[in-house]
Amino acid sequence: MRYAMAIDTKKCVGCSDCVVACQTENNVPIGYCRDWISETVDGTYPNVSIELRSERCNHCDNAPCVRCCPTGASHFEDGGIVLVTHHKCIGCGACIQSCPYEARYSHPDGYVDKCTFCIHRVRKGEDPACVSVCPTNCMYFGDLDDPNSEIVNVLKNRKFKTLAPEAGTSPQIFYLV
């Protein structure tokens, strides 16, 4: 089992619904976020193009945050989901420094927090909150090891990229372009 996400940049309108839904689903304190929107603008007027992306922890196969964690708080769960065990976390911030995606933040309660792929929902067979709320339906979540999953299907049929591939982290969020 290998959980992953594919996000269609051709459909994303950057509305940030994924961000609010994550916040109310996971009690992310206001002023912090586990996911966010990035906009890249290319070209000059009038030959301009933009790409909108919903970004979050990439749940990397080769996760520098897990490797550098001194207490084992950052760890892999089943399906390759990278999690932080809050009570084991000493808030040293090494993982925040090591993450090429700036996906982690220091929670005011003293631990480091980030996207969990909504593991509590996924274990009940639901999609992560961000995926289930997206008005443009531009996000696909599923198991890469399941050849019949929707995510495998879209990745087979569409061109995609990952962010910062040069970091060698083997990220598991794929952007359809």
Partner 1 sequence: MKTRRDFIKISALGLGATAAAGGAAKWVFGDPVGDLMAGAGDESPELKTFPTYCEVCFWKCAGWAYVNEQGGIQKITGNLDDPQCNGRLCPRGTGGVGMFSDPDRLKTPLMRVIKNGEQTYREATWDEALNFIAGKMKEIKAKTGPESMALFFHGSSGNHFSHLMKAYGTPNLAAPSFAQCRGPRDVGFEATFGESVSSPEVTDIRDTKCLVLIGSHIGENMHNGQVQEMSEAIDNGAVIITVDPRLSTAASKSKFWLPIKPSTDLALLLSWIHVLIYENIYNEDYVSKYAEGFEQLKEHVRNFTPEWAYPITTLKPHEIRATAREMAAAAPAVIIHPGRHAAWYGDDVQRTRAIAILNALLGSWGNRGGLFFKEGIKIPEFPHPEYPQPAWSYHELNNGRFPLANEAVTNSVIESSIPADGKEAKIKGWIVTGTNLIASVPLKEQLNKAMQSLELLVVVDTMPMEITGYADVVLPECTYLERYDDIRATAHREPTLALRMPAVEPQYQTKPAWWIAKELGVRLGLGDYFNYKDYTEVLDWQLKQVGSSLDEMKRIGVKKTTRNTSPYIEPGTLHSFKTASGKIQLYSHELAAAGFDAMPVYTPHPEPQEGYYRLIYGRAPMHTFSRTANNRNLVALMPENALWINPQVAALWGFKKGQYIWLKNQDGVVSKFPIKVRLTERIRWDSVYIVHGFGHHHKPLTFAYGRGVNDTELITNVMLDPVMGGTGMRGNFVTFLTKDPGKEAEA
Give the footprint of partner 1 on this chain (CB under 8 A). Answer: 10-11, 13-17, 19-21, 23-27, 30-31, 33, 41, 43-46, 48-50, 52, 75, 77-78, 81, 83-87, 116, 119-120, 123-124, 132-138
Q: Kindly report the three-state secondary structure assignment for every residue of 124-145.
A: CCCCCHHHHHCCCCCEEEEECC
User: What is the smallest separation between the CB atom of 109 and partner 1, expressed in angstroms?
Assistant: 10
Q: How far is CA 73 from the centre of its chain?
A: 18
Which CB, 78 or 146, lies closer to partner 1?
A: 78
- Is the CB of residue 163 less than 8 Å from the CB of residue 38? no
Q: How far apart are CA 84 and CA 175, in angstroms?
A: 25
User: What is the smallest separation between the CB atom of 22 and partner 1, expressed in angstroms?
Assistant: 10
Which CB, 45 or 166, lies closer to partner 1?
A: 45
Which CB, 113 or 166, lies closer to partner 1?
A: 113
Residue 135: which residues within 8 A CB-CB, separation 6 or more?
A: 13, 15, 17
Q: How far apart are CA 162 and CA 159, in angstroms?
A: 11
User: What is the smallest separation between the CB atom of 168 and partner 1, expressed in angstroms?
Assistant: 25
User: What is the smallest separation between the CB atom of 66 and partner 1, expressed in angstroms?
Assistant: 13
Which CB, 44 or 166, lies closer to partner 1?
A: 44
